[in-house]
């Protein structure tokens, strides 16, 4: 009915040829628009985002929306407000376990020193055991939350012995500056802020060696992927191209480079920190994305292992028998 009313109004005010032009243009615009959730993580595809490459190469209107945590992204994707989103492996595993209508299409980063547990100078925390009784902030259901719990398990510390506070990165920065917390496990730009008056007690490279690796990923709603496979393939291809450029020319992405300026503008990180932050994670190329090490096998196991750990920590109620439906390597293969 609304569609017919719109047609009648247009016919009243426009010549016939203009009518058909307006209708086709409206349909094109409505069909080719997507909401994408990004986070303030330092990674190569921020260059393509800053340069408008996703829009230029697809012809789509992209509404980029910034989120502070993967848990918030998952909620927005599940509601249908977001079609493609950037999340960490922990919220991804939690969402898959809840059987959310999502699938993983690109491994954005294999996390290392880009995420770390920092203790405040003067807090009295010199060793892991000194964390007992202290206030440690972390965004719940995030990769850093997972890493914190894994680190405590490695150190033989019951999480109940630590005052673990659920704060988003901007809230962590504010609480740190007020002196309200003793430690924080977080990523940039908050990580850079707390490092200014703190000391790294552990980072995610070490936690990975203890048996709990973490990664970031791009996910898509399954219904959107089915309806628009060409856009999803193009999104993966453009992202992969940005990663290949970094792998080839990353040494030139110095703190005073155009790349550092663009990444800093989108993330809020200090330009001087950008090169080191990029080196703090590994960024898989398209060939690696589609390999059995990642989307064609390894990622499925990693999500299952993460889900099992979350269940052991009473952060998830169950573990699915198979997580394959939540990982799709086809777009990476087609993007090659």
pLDDT digit string, tens, across residues 216-273: 999 999 999 999 999 999 999 999 999 999 999 999 999 999 999 999 999 999 999 9
Please give the pLDDT value at position 313: 87
- Collapsing DSSP to helix, strand or coil, 9 comes out as helix
DSSP character at residue 327 = B
pLDDT level of residue 27 (50, 70, 90 thresholds): very low
Contact 70, 138 (CB under 8 A): no
Residue 54 in this model has a pLDDT that exceeds 60: yes
Angstrom CA distances, 31 to 2, 25, 105, 218, 300, stand at 17, 10, 21, 21, 32
Domains belonging to the chain, first-starting first, are 32-110+214-335 (3.40.190.10), 115-209 (3.40.190.10)
DSSP character at residue 168 = -
Q: pLDDT tens for residues 58-76?
A: 999 999 999 999 999 999 9
Angstrom CA distances, 292 to 109, 149, 158, 237, 300, stand at 16, 28, 35, 19, 10
Total residues found in the chain within this entry: 336
Q: pLDDT tens for residues 292-308?
A: 999 999 999 999 999 99
What's the burial of 59, exposed, middle or buried (CB within 10 Å: 0-12/13-18/19+)? exposed
Q: CA 215 to CA 218: how far, in whole Å?
A: 10
Non-local CB neighbours of 331 within 8 Å, separated by 6+ positions: 105, 106, 225, 229, 232, 233, 235, 236
Report the mean per-residue pLDDT for the chain. 91
H-type helices in the chain, by residue range?
Answer: 2-13, 16-31, 45-50, 53-58, 70-79, 89-97, 143-154, 169-178, 190-195, 204-209, 222-227, 229-249, 258-267, 274-279, 286-289, 298-312, 330-335
Q: How many CB atoms lie within 10 A of CB 296?
A: 17
Contact 183, 136 (CB under 8 A): yes
Q: How many CB atoms lie within 10 A of CB 10?
A: 16
Non-local CB neighbours of 248 within 8 Å, separated by 6+ positions: none
pTM for the whole thing?
0.84
């Amino acid at each position: 009915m609304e569609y017919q009313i719109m047609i009648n109004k247009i016919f009243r005010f426009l010549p016939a040829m203009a009518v058909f032009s307006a209708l086709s243009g409206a349909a094109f615009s409505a069909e080719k628009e997507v909401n994408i959730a990004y986070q303030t993580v330092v990674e190569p595809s921020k260059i393509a985002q800053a340069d408008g490459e996703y829009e230029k190469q697809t012809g789509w209107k992209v509404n980029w929306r910034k989120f502070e945590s993967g848990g918030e992204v998952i909620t927005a994707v599940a509601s249908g407000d977001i079609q493609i989103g950037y999340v960490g492996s922990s919220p991804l595993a939690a969402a898959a376990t809840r059987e959310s209508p999502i699938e993983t299409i690109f491994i954005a980063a294999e996390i290392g020193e880009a995420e770390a547990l920092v203790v405040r100078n003067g807090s009295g925390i010199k060793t892991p055991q000194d964390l007992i009784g202290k206030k440690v902030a972390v965004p719940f259901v995030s990769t850093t939350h997972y890493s914190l719990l894994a680190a405590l398990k490695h150190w033989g510390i019951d999480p109940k012995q630590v005052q673990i506070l659920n704060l988003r990165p901007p809230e962590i920065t504010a609480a740190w500056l007020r002196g309200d917390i003793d430690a924080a496990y977080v990523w940039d730009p908050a990580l850079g802020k707390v490092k200014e008056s703190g000391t790294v007690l552990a980072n995610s490279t070490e936690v990975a060696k203890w048996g709990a690796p973490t990664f970031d990923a791009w996910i898509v709603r399954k219904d959107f992927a089915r309806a628009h496979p060409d856009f999803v393939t193009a999104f993966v291809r453009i992202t992969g191209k940005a990663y290949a450029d970094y792998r080839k020319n990353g040494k030139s992405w110095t703190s005073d480079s155009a790349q550092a300026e663009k990444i800093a503008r989108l993330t809020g990180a200090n330009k001087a920190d950008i090169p080191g932050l990029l080196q703090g994670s590994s960024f898989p190329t398209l060939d690696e994305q589609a390999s059995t090490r990642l989307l064609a096998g390894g990622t499925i196991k990693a999500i299952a292992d993460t889900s099992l750990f979350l269940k052991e920590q009473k952060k998830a109620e169950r573990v699915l028998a198979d997580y394959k439906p939540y990982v799709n390597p086809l777009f990476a293969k087609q993007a090659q």
